[in-house]
Structure 1
């Protein structure tokens, strides 16, 4: 393939959330009608087409495939996280990397809100009594007046806070740089004293942070001992943010009221794992990110950046740029 035949945008073949990758390519074409958008549907097509492509987008970019990319200048990652990419190699090649930050705000924000209301109104108890055909009242809670702590104030954390606004809750935000502020009543860092104080007065703890050295195992046994025993933990971050054995102990010992887990460690959760057995655990299979609008939001970012490159060339300031 010659440079003249190279597409303006190359879409790699791997999709996500069970949605055909063709929809992503079509969404980009709709937004860039004057550009060529190619979809590589086989490994061989990827190796061939990426050789001259300058702008590539996909869920991941393996080092073996990157070796074939002779002219790559931009890789638009279709995930918000980029830790799975060969970042050092991309940086050494001078490749600009963007991510999908912001794509998951509405859908995961709604998932978190639904999880909180699920435990507030104790729908799991109602569902159990419905299965038994048992008409008997049970105690529920109110969200109003509760304290919700959101760990991670990126696009997802902010979306959660926006959706909590009408419910009359107090909010605490936890982020690496508290001085940046945030859409919460209070913003703290990960310092042990401030963090422990927040845990002790939290009714709903939402994990929406990236997995880093700081957040790996953040909720350990000491954290579960410290947290308010009426608290509910909602994890839409990554499984290893919670120490799984400590979580199981906390549930068995009634150190927390419940947990809504969209991610687990290990993942997928083994069939014999005890987390399946708790009636006060809501499990979803890493599904909070699913939305029919996923590829449309990704395509908006890609199309905007292609237009910026058309206007400003290599000096363009790209949306969601994470490298360099």
Structure 2
């Protein structure tokens, strides 16, 4: 019997959903720490990933044909080796749409209502009414990397009465986006943003895309939010932009390096909100990954192209 190895602990209900989608397969759900070469030696399909198991999975001893990652990002996957092995790769892209778009607005609302300073003053028992208070209504949000999360963010932005500008590789229009730009027009888009949101995946093209030149074209009143990938930002350039006043502040969930070192200057900047790479976390995560996986699983058994989040190795996402 062919085997599906799930590198997570599933509830009985979740395991049953996978079994119902693939009745002819044996389902083995095991946490990464308990996974072994012997379990993976018969795995045709793997749901999840671990660097700890990478060498065996990439070897001739593992018969894997398809890997469905547990994460939306695939930049840490050994894509060149997987492509050489002719392994299908799908991501969990889309599972984060609601929590990350809501986190983006948590940053924006905190900045607009000065909540980040209020929380710090609360810790000091300080009654301080100073500060600048604004509203999101009428402001311009620039969403760089309009995929599922970007589209969800745009919908929320429209509900707040904001002008929405999007940037994506194709330049293709998207519901909820007032004006779409291609990546070649990035600087033109950035110059208009009151809030600039980075949701880009990490590829060779996007590595340190947000550098000194990019921060220089933004408004000095703009706020930069990064929920994409840490290495897509030149961290030193970001620090300089914040220190010089080239931009007004930043809400950051991802970093380069990560975890952010304890002595890093970003920690002590009053105009910065830091969260520890948790923007996509919520109580529905596993159920949403299983939903993506079972849709792909049905297509896989019928020898059809996997319909959800099939990674294009040439694009690296």
Question: TM-score when scaled to structure 2?
Answer: 0.88
Q: 1:322, CA displacement in angstroms?
A: 1.8
Task: Say which is worse superposed, 222-231 or 128-137, in terms of deviation.
Answer: 128-137
Q: 1:81, CA displacement in angstroms?
A: 2.0
Please list the CA deviations of residues 76-96 of structure 1 after superposition, one character each: whole Å capped at 9, or x if unmatched: 111122232232332333322
**235, 238, 241: which one aligns with 2:226:** 235
The answer as to 2:75 corresponding to 1:83 is yes
**140, 152, 174: which one aligns with 2:133:** 140
In structure 1, distance between residues paired with 2:173 and 2:67: 29
Structure 2 contact 158–164 (Cα < 8 Å) conserved: no
Aligned equivalent of 1:166: 159
Task: Say which is worse superposed, 300-309 or 275-284, in terms of deviation.
Answer: 300-309
Aligned equivalent of 2:203: 212
Please list the CA deviations of residues 205-245 of structure 1 after superposition, one character each: whole Å capped at 9, or x if unmatched: 00001122332222212222221111110000111222111
Q: 1:164, CA displacement in angstroms?
A: 1.4
In structure 2, distance between residues paired with 1:127 and 1:28: 42
Please list the CA deviations of residues 30-60 of structure 1 after superposition, one character each: whole Å capped at 9, or x if unmatched: 4534453202446785311222221211134
In structure 1, distance between residues paired with 2:78 and 2:237: 32
Q: 2:151 is paired with a residue of what secondary structure?
A: helix
The answer as to 2:9 corresponding to 1:22 is yes
Aligned equivalent of 1:16: none
Please list the CA deviations of residues 236-278 of structure 1 after superposition, one character each: whole Å capped at 9, or x if unmatched: 0111222111111111112211100001111111111111110
In structure 1, distance between residues paired with 2:124 and 2:30: 51
In structure 1, distance between residues paired with 2:84 and 2:244: 50
- For structure 1, the residue ranges without an aligned partner over 5 or more in a row are 13-20
Divergent runs of 4+, >4 A: 41-45
Question: TM-score when scaled to structure 1?
Answer: 0.87
In structure 2, distance between residues paired with 1:104 and 1:249: 30
Structure 1 contact 207–234 (Cα < 8 Å) conserved: yes
Q: 2:9 is paired with a residue of what secondary structure?
A: helix
Please list the CA deviations of residues 80-128 of structure 1 after superposition, one character each: whole Å capped at 9, or x if unmatched: 2223223233233332211111111111111111111110111012223
Equivalences, count: 307
Alignment of 1:1-324 (within 5 A): 4=1, 6-7=2-3, 9-12=4-7, 21-23=8-10, 27-33=14-20, 34=23, 36-41=26-31, 45-60=35-50, 62-67=54-59, 69-138=61-130, 139-181=132-174, 183-191=176-184, 194-310=185-301, 312=302, 314-322=303-311
Structure 2 contact 157–163 (Cα < 8 Å) conserved: no
Task: Say which is worse superposed, 46-55 or 254-263, in terms of deviation.
Answer: 46-55
Q: 1:323, CA displacement in angstroms?
A: 5.2
Q: 1:234 is paired with a residue of what secondary structure?
A: strand
- For structure 2, the residue ranges without an aligned partner over 5 or more in a row are none
In structure 1, distance between residues paired with 2:32 and 2:246: 50
Structure 1 contact 28–300 (Cα < 8 Å) conserved: no
Q: 1:24, CA displacement in angstroms?
A: 6.8
Q: 1:207 to 1:323 in 2, by over 3 A?
A: closer
